[in-house]
Each structure stands twice: as C-alpha cells, then as structure tokens.
Amino acid sequence: MNRPAMPRYNMTRSLLRALPLAAAALLAGCGPQGGSALEIEPPLEGAAIGGDFTLVGKDGQAVSWSDFNGQWRIVYFGYTFCPDVCPVDAAAIGQGLSAFEKAHPDLGKQVTPIFITVDPERDTPEVVGEFAANFHPRMVGLTGTQDVIDATAKKFVVYHEKGEPSEGGGYLVNHTNQTVLFDPEGEPVALLPTDMGGPAVAEELAKWVK
C-alpha cells in the first residue's frame, strides 16, 4: 500500500498546528541535550486529539479509553490486511517499546501500545488481537462496529477511507498513519517517529516518559 496523500489534507486544524511543533522537537533532539523533558513543552500539548471510546478486545470484551488511566499510551490506527505501512509502523512501535523497557524497566511497564483497526469488516477481535501481539506481547488490538470505529477515528484525528475493490475482491484502506503518545491522563504528548524505526521511537519515549 502506498502512503496516501489524502490523509495529510484531511487532518483537523489542531493536528496541523501540532505537527510543526512535533517536527521541531524531533530536530531539537538531534542537537546537544540541554535540559530535561520537564523543561520542554510537549509538542502536542493542548491539541484536540483523543477521547473516550469503548471498543472490543481480542477476547470479545469491551475495552474503554478509561481502562488505560494511569498508563502512558501509544496509539496507532491501521489494519491487519495492510501490505506494507502498518506492519512496518507496528514493528517500530514494538521494537522501540522493547528497547525502552530494557533500558528503563519500571517506566517501560507503564507504557501500553494500542493498535486500533480502521477495517472492522475484516479485522475481527481475534484477528486484530493476534496481529498486535506479533509486534509486542502487551500491544492491545481493538476493533468494533464501523460506526464506532468511525467515531473513534474522528476523535483521534485519523482519516480513513475504504478503497475500490480489486479483481480478487480485496481492497486497501487509505488512512492517516500517525503514532501518538498520550500521558497517563490521556492527553496527547508527542508524535512518535515510527518512520525512523525502533531506536528513534525508544529515544522519543525516553524524552517524555518519566
């Protein structure tokens, strides 16, 4: 699946304002380290990203946003039939969190990665749960009805649109592939650079998770 151009033009103003700040923060991380994370304003602070939801986990039980209260959260929207982008991003999340856990065991266990499907038609609880667990043993895979997924994606500023079916009956889903870190209160903190691989994700986690 090629990265679609449309998602970038369908983000809400809040995320568009936040992205330059996130990019600036990433660039700043390449220079000399002067100061702790507490002295740096989170790039997504105050952005209207996230909100309550109730979806379905791998065991068919309801899972709500509030169930993760007290945990740092890594949230990614994708789908299990994605041929390239989603598996690469999910692998970066898993590898980055694993590296962070190794370096900071006590802090690492306070971070929960969450994979929410944008393709509930094919991604049953079992399918999305198994997919998520392939990338990290604690990665939570969530699905739900199309209406609930649509409403949840809107709260998290995620564009998604089902593509035209192929001759074989399959289809792709165009979607925004951002990875957002939320604090224990469920507030957005920063974008995680999954496009740069696991080490970059681990470095960004170490910047904020204290």
DSSP 80-118: TT-SSHHHHHHHHHHHHHHHHHHH-HHHHTTEEEEEEES
Asked whether residue 30 is marked as a ligand-binding residue, the answer is: no
- pLDDT score at 17: 40
Q: Tell me whether strands 140-142 and 111-117 are parallel, antiparallel or unpaired.
A: parallel
Q: Which residue has the higher pLDDT, 164 or 102?
A: 102
Provide the 3-class DSSP secondary structure of residue 119. coil
**pLDDT tens-place string over residues 81-131:** 999 999 999 999 999 999 999 999 999 999 999 999 999 999 999 999 999
- pLDDT score at 24: 38
Q: Round the average pLDDT of the chain to a whole number and report it.
A: 86
Domain boundaries, the chain: 6-30+42-208
- pLDDT score at 7: 39
- pLDDT score at 39: 67
Asked whether residue 82 is marked as a ligand-binding residue, the answer is: yes
99: its two tokens: 């590296």
Distance CA 120, CA 27 (A): 36
Which CATH architecture does the domain made up of 6-30+42-208 adopt?
3-Layer(aba) Sandwich (3.40)
59 has a pLDDT exceeding 90 = yes
CA 37 to chain centre: 21
Q: Which residue has the higher pLDDT, 77 or 31?
A: 77
One-letter amino acid of 132: A
What is the pLDDT averaged over residues 163-173?
Answer: 91
